Amino acid sequence: MSINSEKWSDLATRMGSGAAMVVLGLWGVWVGGHVFHVMVAAICGLMVWELAAMIRAPRNVALQLGGLAGAAALLAIYLPPGFALPILLASALVGFGQLKAFRTIYMVFTVMVLLAGYGMMSVRDDMGFNWMLWLVLVVVATDVVGYFAGRLIGGPKFWPRVSPKKTWAGTGFGWIGAAAVGAAFMANTGTGAQLIGVSIAVSMASQMGDIAESAIKRRVGVKDSSNLIPGHGGLLDRFDGMLGASVFLLIIGGPIFGSPLALR
């Protein structure tokens, strides 16, 4: 097999699995409400289960922690923020007390997963379908444009020790893809050019989530978070970018989108 064919060997599987996830995800985003809440909570629970399994927690402990995280995510969205946040953090602390190794990794990344899930549900509930679609498309564009640019252009690696396939070309073109999504939404929503900058920042946050998850996998010595998704590995492998983007948007969403003059 040639080096060139090896670069694209996972493309068909990735595209098939990716298309199925896009269809299911867009349906959930479109429906919103309880359906979207349950979908996001289930994904959060499965990601925490993957995380616990990666750090070699006993199977029953990993299942319990995943179930607890999913329940916390679902409960939190129906509570006022002042009560929701301690519910989310408590789930991570419970795991910290149950595990014997990599406890800090588990605690920090579980908080990230649950805050990201809460952020996604909040964006859909408070800002509507269009802005949730914008968030998804920014992350997808970052990943897809970066994937093809990295393999077509190649060049210097971004961080070879942690993420050997990522290049600076793919990273930069991911920002360009996100900027294009921002420009398209700017033209159709009446927002100003600042949305392009926000889209690039969200793209960067999604790449940070990707890097963080890659670093954890290298630290614990695994290639994929699980084998749930053919061609993609696990849910953490697929949604790591969404984790970073959602947490970032949860932090800056109020100041950026809350004012009537925002992004004009």
In a domain, 141, yes or no: yes
Domain range for 53 is 13-257
Distance CA 172, CA 184 (A): 19
Contact between residue 72 and residue 111 where contact means Cβ atoms under 8 Å apart: no
- Total tally of structural domains belonging to the chain: 1
Residue in 250, 225, 253 with CA at minimum distance from that of residue 237:
225
The predicted structure's pLDDT at residue 124: 92
Residue 4 maps to a domain: no
Instruction: Report yes or no on 154 lying in a domain.
Output: yes
pLDDT at 230: 66
Is residue 44 in a domain?
yes
Q: What is the pLDDT of residue 138?
A: 95
**74 within domain boundaries:** yes
pLDDT for the residue numbered 260: 40
Q: Considering the domain boundaries, does residue 262 fall inside one? A: no
Pairing of strands 157-159, 163-167: antiparallel
- How far the first Cα of the chain sits from its last, in Å, is 53
pLDDT by 10s per residue, the chain, length 264: 444 545 545 555 666 666 777 788 889 999 999 999 999 999 999 999 999 999 889 999 999 999 999 999 999 999 998 999 999 999 899 988 888 889 999 999 999 999 999 999 998 998 899 999 999 999 999 988 888 887 787 777 766 666 667 777 888 889 999 999 999 999 888 888 899 999 999 999 999 998 888 888 888 888 878 877 766 678 888 888 999 999 998 888 766 665 443 554
Residue 8 forms part of a structural domain: no
In a domain, 6, yes or no: no
- What is the reported pLDDT for 111? 95
